[in-house]
Amino acid sequence: MRQPTKEDVDALVGPATPHFAYQLRARLEELVMDLPDDHPVKRYAQEKMELLDRLGLASSKAEEGGREPRSRLGWKEIPSAAPAYDPLPPRG
């Protein structure tokens, strides 16, 4: 099997959503597990795994813009204001 590339990592992480973040993280970890710790692709993958960890506690991967204000129309019905760069705190 060929060595994984940054493009392989991006192909896994690109379509990530909060719902599948941990499944994709597991696939990513498996993809690079045999690479040496100092390998640039493994380091890149580790950064993306941290993003997926945050995404698992988020409601959006939105990488641009800020949080939605609680005063926004519909907030009480659909409170979705935790992007991956600023996720909700872990439970328990």
With beta carbons less than 8 A apart as the criterion, state whether 25 and 52 touch.
yes
Asked, for residue 1, whether it belongs to a domain, the answer is yes
How many folded domains does the chain comprise?
A: 1
Mean pLDDT over 15-34 rounds to: 92
Mean pLDDT over 28-40 rounds to: 96
Asked, for residue 92, whether it belongs to a domain, the answer is no
The torsion region of residue 17 among left (phi > 0), alpha (psi -120 to 50) and beta comes to beta
Asked, for residue 19, whether it belongs to a domain, the answer is yes
Asked, for residue 91, whether it belongs to a domain, the answer is no
What does the pLDDT look like over 41-54, one tens digit per residue?
999 999 999 999 98
pTM: 0.68
Q: Is the pLDDT of residue 80 over 60?
A: no
For residue 10, what pLDDT is reported? 95
Q: Which domain holds residue 29?
A: 1-86
**51 membership: H or E segment, kind and range:** helix 40-55
Asked, for residue 61, whether it belongs to a domain, the answer is yes
